[in-house]
Amino acid sequence: MCFLLQQYYENRLKTLDVLKAGGANPYPHKFLASISVPGYIEKYKGLNEGEKLADVTECLAGRIMNKRTSSSKLLFYDLYGDGVKVQVMADARTSELEDTEFSSFHSGVKRGDIVGICGIPGKSNRGELSVFPRKFVVLSPCLHMMPRQVRSRICLKVGS
């Protein structure tokens, strides 16, 4: 297991070196969040299923703790900030990136990365509060493999 963790770390460092060599800055200097994740939830929790506020843009920052792929043009992220979660529905149709750039960019986003997202508030068709990003920026790549969430497991020490 330790070898796997070390290899993951080294691969992430190599990825950052490639970005730097290409002239990109993997650690952007600033990102102005307009609202916190708890504030976002409180402000938009009353939206109806499938409703999107196309004339409103909010900017959030947080850590990606889960990534799910629906297709090459639709990805779901769980964005955590201040102990709470909001879903991010990254859709190539609403992104400011072209289709090939979209796929390439999102393949590099990993669990644990700290990101900034500017997008439209809304609820998915299943009723989950979401942000539909137009702009998605990795602010700080996570270099270490994040542990999977443990589901209510209690460990007891025997023999003490």
Instruction: Please report whether residue 8 resides in a domain.
Output: no
Q: What is the pLDDT of residue 8?
A: 87
- Number of domains into which the chain is organized: 1
**Which position has the token pair 């270099």?**
143
Of the candidates 78, 50, 49, 55, which has an alpha carbon nearest to the alpha carbon of residue 65? 78
DSSP state, residue 21: H
> Which sign, positive or negative, has the C-alpha torsion 46, 50, 55, 57?
positive
Instruction: Please report whether residue 19 resides in a domain.
Output: no
* Mean pLDDT for the stretch of residues 27-39: 93
For residue 7, give the 3-state DSSP assignment: helix
Instruction: Please report whether residue 54 resides in a domain.
Output: yes
**Domain of residue 134, residue span:** 28-140
Instruction: Please report whether residue 65 resides in a domain.
Output: yes
Whether the predicted pLDDT of 101 surpasses 60? yes
- The structure's pTM equals 0.84
CATH number at residue 124: 2.40.50.140
Instruction: Please report whether residue 110 resides in a domain.
Output: yes
